Amino acid sequence: MNIYFDIETLPAAGKVLALVKSTYDNLILENKINKISFEEFHKLTALNGDFGKIYCIAYAIDDNDVVVLTGDEKDILINFWEASKLVNLFIGHNIMEFDLPFIYKRSIINNVKPSRNLMFARYRNDPIYDTMKEWNKWSTNNTSLDRLAKIFGIKSSKEIMKGSEVYNYYINNKHETVYRYCKEDVEVTRIIYKKLNFL
């Protein structure tokens, strides 16, 4: 059984903001970051599972319809791990470096025990199949999902919006657009996986 999935994330909020601010202040004092405002730094926490949070997870089992999990982050994680417990192969784009580490961190923070303890071994495509890694054969190149879709002549999910716009859509209550975008990322990933494997 395969699961194709993608996540969308948001910057830090709530109690953790104090930690984000002190982290920012320390990095400024140590001259480790330059010319970046706290507002910009805060937005970047959406890329870090230490601080950011999961906004939604879209997934599809094998050739079934895509499901989008939304609402409370803890509930999203519980439902994702429940859907994943019988899965053999986890498939996504850049999931080795971003999606799965983010999901695991947020699971621990939310006290949600993962149903699977996945090994993040490099240069393998089982039980984690990362379409970006497989396309580049584990070189240092990072091909975006948008570019890979265009290479294969697939309609890109980035025609709906871009990943960098998620927070703006969120604060403007355009939730359904983000959910549709996340869903389309899964559809595109499924097609790319099949092309990469001549299916």
pLDDT at 109 over 90: yes
Give the residue-averaged pLDDT of 146-155: 95
**Model confidence over 32-52: pLDDT tens digits?**
887 889 999 999 999 999 999
Position 158 confidence tier, pLDDT thresholds 50, 70, 90: confident
pLDDT at 101 over 90: yes
pLDDT for res 32:
82
Give the residue-averaged pLDDT of 65-85: 98
How distant is the alpha carbon of residue 111 from its chain centre?
19
pLDDT at 197 over 90: yes
pTM of the model: 0.94
Rounded to a whole number of angstroms, the CA Rg of the chain reads 17
114: preceding bond cis by omega (within 30 degrees): no
How distant is the alpha carbon of residue 56 from its chain centre?
9
Position 163 confidence tier, pLDDT thresholds 50, 70, 90: confident
Domains and CATH numbers, the chain: 2-116+126-196 (3.30.420.10)
Strand order in the sheet with 2-10: 67-69, 53-61, 2-10, 89-92, 128-130
Give the residue-averaged pLDDT of 169-186: 97
What is the b/e burial string over 62-91, where b = at least 16 CB atoms within 10 angstroms of the residue's CB? eeeebbbbbeebbebbbbbbebbeebeebb
